[in-house]
């Protein structure tokens, strides 16, 4: 709390001066610059920072509710130990010293008896501390850390692009030239914020009035604005992308000079996509062939163009080859690292000391899933993580070896992992579980110890946007202390010291400072005063040294995939549960279910206890076409049962012409903090009661099946 921006202001109540400190909101994947009004030990107000190039003073509904989050009466404020049996909901307050001693002792005993690999670490998406979770795991000696997004969200795109392009491209929204065309593929960034920029950058890019193509089964705001909207059957993005590649190649619409000079394997790709005509794809995707042609032609015609792709292409077991197919569109049209195109970053943050070098090759090979999923757990991964279904299996069955302890730092496992009932069974088998969170959750109720985590205004960190590219580096700084809350980073350092580990013991700020210095040349403290630092952008960086792939080119034909024993060219595969793959299941469950389209008021399973947000969106909503609803006797506002082979939940019906009559969309992340614990209604409307975490998995990434499943619906009475 050292610097004051804009000078001291006289306090309204005479209780001392008010400081205005710069920070950065992390209530989603983050990035919006903020001004924190602080008086003594009180946070008075949080505003958007008008100077921030990422949000220019704006905050979304979630960011605008920060005061409600920080001072919510239900916040966890001190460590607690469970008194009764697991899941009985009885807790007693303990001190941090007791909590650290107990963790140190239990973890050491488990490590000594079963090996460090029997301790699994868990966390959630895009958190400030995500890499610190793996770092602590590596310091402890376990390769088994995981995050529910790693195989299902963003990392399939990152790892595929690192192998295909040698780098991770993002949309050029933070420089002067805006795209003339934006292709939104399985992505709704006006609600979600793209993975790696803020939603405000996306809105600003729309002000330049680009042509728009949207690939989405639902008629979102962007689909309504689009020049071409491709309303596909959920889970068939691979077929659609192959057909668009087919049109670009067969009609010679690609950038021949760029393709010749900068890509590898064009002839092989052309051969692969030849059978995948738009007429073929129409039968698979439900999108008319002439619309696919029109989209490919428009996409090829307009430059520069950028592609905004989202998580929807990463939640079926053909995840990686779908991502591969979609990722090749910008390569064929040469929209790579050009102003207003898909650009590579400036790496404004230094390397994070992940401590992975602490793991021996043998220990790396023990990572659960490493024998199968090299893009998630092994040599094809940017930051290798464990395969969640295999970790859960190890908890349940002790095979291939036992997992006895689970340390969860920011994940409501029962809501966001696939197949919640099996997740519950797995967690109930643990010897020791710790959960650090802001609030008590149905998952934390299963733990032995609950730790009070600091929310973003309560801790020091850094952020680099766009993600990975990081040409804008921002400082987050501690402005308030709530109860005995500690940041996850501080907890790891304290625990590493208590366990007398050799690494992960230096102060958090030392690590931040080294990263900031390596990327920007300035200190973390200087960055805190400035708020953010913007690195001047350079384009066409590949012209200097080529692409960072084995051939120095964009690998349409991936030599690295081939080396790892995977198909070097993208291919189509039906989702394992679909009207085409399993017509027998479709007889009983005739509708296609997609889940989790983002809404602006909640971040995954969070924020249901914040009054302004819950008021704006009180109930879980399932979308259904009016014709389908009429057939089933369902009216707007009715509750309905949604059922798959795995289970049954209730959400409230929204009748909507924007969804195909054959498709249902359910929100994800639902539990009810306002209902009684210890389960807080987690079995009532939680969509992951319906999803699957059983094989088949994506062969490269281990991805399980969260979208494009089969379901049936019927009217229900409202829940009690
Ligand atoms: N407010 C808010 N912001 C968030 C989040 C949040 O919960 N709330 N979550 C964050 C997280 S973890 C992520 S990963 C991102 C996700 O954000 P996005 O990548 O934007 O993903 P979604 O909104 O889940 O889905 C995008 C669109 O995909 C469509 N869709 C569904 N199934 C399919 C399909 O099979 N194919 C295609 N092409 N489209 C399909 C949906 O209709 C939806 O409109 O958002 C992040 N930001
Ligand atoms: N069916 C279906 N399932 C999905 C998805 C879908 O679209 N459909 N989306 C998937 C995707 S893309 C993702 S990324 C995952 C998201 O999964 P997660 O990112 O794990 O999200 P949550 O389960 O909501 O867990 C976040 C928890 O962290 C707590 N928390 C917030 N900030 C902090 C902090 O600083 N420290 C600590 N210790 N705790 C904190 C919150 O209170 C909350 O309980 O869900 C996946 N699950
Ligand atoms: S978009 Fe994300 S970072 Fe920006 S205000 Fe909203 S929650 Fe905060
Ligand atoms: Mo995600």
Write the secondary structure of 242-261 as one string of H (helix), E (strand) and C (coil): HHHHHHHHHCCCCCHHHHHH
Q: How many residues does the chain have?
A: 720
Neighbours of ion ligand 4 (CB under 5 A): 125, 149, 153
Best residue among 311, 316, 323 to mutate for probing ligand 1's pocket (most ligand atoms within 8 Å of CB) is: 311
Strands 472-476 and 211-215: unpaired
CA of 186 to the centre of ligand 4 (A): 13
For residue 34, give the ligand 3 atom closest to its CA. 5
Q: Is the peptide bond before 14 cis (omega within 30 degrees of 0)?
A: no
DSSP string for residues in 533-572: EEPPP---THHHH--SSTTSSEESS-HHHHHTTS-SS---
User: Which pLDDT does position 625 carry in this prediction?
Assistant: 98
What residue owns the CA closest to ligand 3's atom 3? 30
The CA-based dihedral angle spanning residues 177, 183, 187, 191, taken in that order and rounded to the nearest 10 degrees: 50
> How many domains does the chain divide into?
2
Boundary residue ending a domain (529, 563, 597):
563
Helices 237-250 and 319-332 cross at an angle (nearest 10°) of: 30
Q: Is the CB of 575 under 6 A from ligand 3?
A: no
**Same domain, yes or no, for 587 and 696?**
yes
Q: Which ligand 1 atom sits closest to the C-alpha of 125?
A: 12
Evaluate whether residue 142 is within a structural domain.
no
- Domain endpoint, select from 532, 563, 594: 563
Shared-domain flag, residues 194 and 334? yes
Cα–ligand 3 centroid distance for 250 (angstroms): 43
Residue 286 lies in a domain: yes
- Ligand 3 centroid distance, CA of 30 (Å): 5
Q: How far apart are the first and last CA of the chain?
A: 48
350 lines ligand 3 (CB under 6 A): no
Q: Which ligand is nearest to the CA of 644?
A: 2
Indicate the residue among 563, 598, 614 that finishes a domain: 563
124 lines ligand 2 (CB under 6 A): yes
CA dihedral sign of residues 708, 702, 197, 43 = positive
Q: Does one domain contain both 169 and 317?
A: yes
Do 662 and 559 reside in the same domain of the chain? no
Helix (H, G, I), strand (E, B) or coil at 510: helix
Q: Give me the phi and psi of 67, to 5 degrees please.
A: -60, -40
Ligand 1: distance of its center to the CA of 309 in Å?
Answer: 9
The whole-model pTM stands at 0.97
User: What's the pLDDT score for residue 14?
Assistant: 58
Helix (H) or strand (E) holding 308: strand 305-309
Same domain? For 316 and 191 the reply is yes
Q: Is residue 461 domain-resident?
A: no
404 Cβ closer than 6 Å to some ligand 2 atom? no
Confidence at residue 1, expressed as pLDDT on a 0 to 100 scale:
34
Would you list the DSSP string of 43-94? Answer: EEEEEE-TT-TTTTT---HHHHTHHHHHT-TT---S-EEE-SSTTS--EEE-
My answer on whether 675 and 555 are in the same domain is no
555 and 649 part of one domain: no
Q: Which atom of ligand 3 is nearest to the CA of 63?
A: 5
Q: Is the CB of 411 under 6 A from ligand 2?
A: yes
**Using CA atoms, how far apart are residues 37 and 18, in angstroms rounded to an integer?**
6
CA-nearest residue for atom 25, ligand 1, is: 597
Task: State the CATH number of the domain containing residue 606.
Answer: 2.40.40.20
Residue 701 and residue 553 share a domain: no
Its domain, for residue 589, covers: 583-716
Place of tokens 């040599």: 379
Q: Which atom of ligand 2 is nearest to the CA of 438?
A: 42
**Tokens of residue 244, six digits:** 């668009």
Helix (H) / strand (E) element for 342: namely strand 342-343
CATH assignment at residue 280: 3.40.228.10
- In this structure, the number of other CB atoms found within 10 A of the CB of residue 379 comes to 12
For residues 285 and 573, is the Cβ–Cβ distance under 8 A?
A: no
CB 630 within 8 A of CB 78: no
Pocket of ligand 1, beta carbon within 6 A: 28-29, 125, 149, 153, 185-189, 191-193, 195, 215-218, 220, 232, 234-235, 237, 310-312, 594, 596-598, 600, 602-604, 707-708
Q: Where are the alpha helices (DSSP H) in 446-535?
A: 488-498, 508-520, 524-530
Residues 232 and 334 in one domain: yes
The contacts of residue 510 (CB under 8 Å, 6+ apart) are: none
Tell me what pLDDT residue 2 has. Answer: 35
Find the ligand nearest to 451 CA: 2
Helices (H), 151-265: 155-164, 189-192, 199-207, 221-225, 237-250, 256-262
Copy the structure tokens of residue 37. 């009004």
Q: 391 exposed, middle or buried (CB, 10 Å; 0-12, 13-18, 19+)?
A: buried
Assigned domain for 597 exists: yes
Query: DSSP letters along 619-655, please?
Result: S-EEEE-HHHHHHHT--TT-EEEEEETTEEEEEEEEE
Write phi, then psi, for 267 (nearest 5 degrees): -60, -40
Q: Is the CB of 681 under 6 A from ligand 3?
A: no
Q: Is residue 350 assigned to a domain?
A: no
Do 205 and 254 sit in the same domain of this protein?
yes
Residue 84 lies in a domain: no
Is residue 232 within 8 A of residue 217, CB to CB? The reply is: yes
SS3 577: coil
Instruction: Specify if 481 maps to a domain.
Output: no
Q: Give the pLDDT confidence score for residue 196 in this predicted structure.
A: 61
Q: What distance in angstroms lies between residue 304's CA and the mean position of ligand 3's atoms?
A: 28
Q: Which residue has tokens 């030392």?
A: 510
Q: How far apart are CA 345 and CA 529, in angstroms?
A: 24
Residue that the structure tokens 């039968």 belong to? 283
From 28, 64, 65, 601, mutation site for ligand 3 pocket: most ligand atoms within 8 A of C-beta: 28
What confidence score (pLDDT) does residue 509 get? 97
| Same-domain check for residues 553 and 595 | no
State if residue 63 touches ligand 3 by the CB under 6 angstroms criterion: yes
Report residues of the chain scoring pLDDT below 70.
Answer: 1-14, 194-197
Residue nearest to atom 44 of ligand 2 (CA): 412
Provide the angle, in degrees to the nearest 10, between the axes of the packed helices 319-332 and 155-164: 50
Nearest CA to ligand 1 atom 4: 192
Distance 58 CA to ligand 3 centre (A): 9
687 lines ligand 2 (CB under 6 A): yes
Return the DSSP state at 17.
P
**192: Cβ below 6 Å to ligand 2?**
no
Q: What pLDDT shows up at residue 30?
A: 83
Domain membership of residue 370 (yes or no) is no
Residues 659 and 559 in one domain: no
């Amino acid at each position: 709390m050292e610097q004051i921006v804009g000078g001291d202001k006289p306090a309204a109540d005479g209780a001392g001066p008010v400081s205005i400190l710069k920070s950065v909101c992390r209530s989603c994947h983050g990035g919006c610059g903020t001004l924190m009004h602080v008086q003594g030990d009180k946070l008075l107000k949080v505003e958007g920072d008008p100077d921030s190039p990422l949000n220019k003073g704006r905050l979304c509904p979630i960011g605008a509710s920060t005061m409600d989050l920080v001072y919510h009466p239900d916040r966890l404020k001190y460590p607690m130990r469970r008194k009764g049996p697991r899941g009985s909901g009885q807790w007693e307050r303990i001190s941090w010293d007791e909590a650290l001693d107990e963790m140190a002792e239990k973890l050491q005993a488990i490590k000594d008896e079963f090996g460090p690999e029997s301790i699994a670490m868990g966390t959630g998406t895009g958190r400030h501390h995500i890499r610190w979770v793996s770092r602590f795991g590596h310091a402890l000696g376990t390769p088994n850390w995981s995050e529910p997004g790693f195989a299902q969200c963003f990392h399939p795109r990152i790892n595929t692009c690192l192998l295909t392009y040698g780098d991770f491209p993002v949309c050029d929204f933070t420089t002067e030239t805006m795209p003339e065309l934006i292709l939104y593929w399985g992505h709704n960034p006006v609600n979600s914020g793209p993975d790696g920029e803020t939603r405000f950058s996306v809105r600003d890019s729309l002000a330049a009035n680009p042509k728009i193509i949207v690939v989405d089964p639902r008629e979102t705001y962007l689909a309504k604005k689009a020049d071409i909207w491709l309303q596909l059957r959920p889970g068939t993005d691979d077929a659609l992308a192959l057909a668009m590649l087919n049109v670009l190649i067969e009609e010679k619409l690609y950038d021949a000079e760029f393709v010749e000079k900068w890509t590898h394997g064009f002839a092989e790709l052309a051969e692969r996509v030849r059978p995948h005509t738009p007429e073929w794809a129409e039968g698979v995707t439900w999108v008319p062939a002439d619309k696919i042609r029109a989209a490919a032609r428009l996409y090829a015609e307009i430059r520069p163009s950028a592609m905004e792709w989202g998580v929807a292409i990463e939640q079926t077991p053909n995840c990686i080859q779908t991502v591969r197919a979609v990722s090749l569109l910008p390569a064929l049209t040469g929209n790579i690292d050009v102003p207003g195109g898909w650009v590579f970053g400036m790496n404004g943050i230094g390397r994070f000391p992940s401590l992975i070098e602490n793991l021996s090759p043998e220990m790396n090979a023990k990572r659960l899933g490493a024998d199968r999923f090299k893009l998630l757990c092994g040599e094809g991964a940017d930051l290798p993580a464990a395969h969640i279904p295999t970790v859960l299996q190890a908890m349940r069955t002790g095979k291939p070896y036992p997992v006895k302890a689970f340390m969860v730092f920011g994940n409501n496992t029962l809501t966001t992992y696939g197949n919640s009932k099996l997740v519950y069974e797995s967690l109930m088998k643990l010897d020791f579980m710790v959960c650090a969170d802001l609030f008590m959750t149905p998952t934390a109720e299963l733990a032995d110890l609950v730790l009070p985590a600091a929310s973003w205004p309560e801790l020091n960190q850094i952020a680099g946007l766009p993600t990975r590219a990081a040409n804008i580096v921002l400082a987050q700084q501690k402005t308030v202390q709530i109860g005995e809350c500690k940041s996850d980073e501080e907890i790891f350092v304290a625990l590493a010291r208590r366990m007398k580990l050799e690494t992960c013991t230096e102060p958090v700020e030392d690590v931040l400072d080294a990263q900031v210095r390596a990327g920007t040349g300035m200190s973390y403290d200087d960055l805190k005063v400035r708020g953010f630092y913007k690195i001047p952008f350079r384009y066409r960086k590949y012209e200097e040294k080529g692409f960072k792939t084995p051939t120095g080119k964009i690998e349409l034909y991936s030599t690295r995939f081939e080396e790892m024993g995977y198909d070097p060219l993208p291919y189509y595969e039906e989702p394992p549960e679909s009207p085409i793959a399993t017509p027998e299941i479709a007889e009983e469950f005739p509708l296609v279910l997609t889940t989790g389209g983002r809404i602006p008021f909640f971040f995954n399973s969070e924020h249901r206890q914040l009054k302004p947000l819950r008021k704006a969106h009180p109930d879980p909503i399932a979308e259904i076409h009016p014709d389908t609803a009429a057939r089933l006797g369902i009216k707007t506002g009715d509750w309905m049962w949604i059922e798959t082979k795995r289970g049954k939940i209730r959400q409230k019906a929204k009748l909507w012409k924007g969804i195909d009559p054959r498709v249902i969309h359910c929100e994800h992340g639902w539990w009810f903090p306002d209902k009684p614990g210890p389960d807080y209604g987690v079995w009532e409307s939680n969509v992951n009661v319906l999803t699957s975490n059983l094989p088949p998995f994506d062969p490269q990434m281990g991805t399980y099946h969260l979208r494009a499943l089969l379901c049936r619906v019927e009217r229900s009475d409202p829940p009690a």
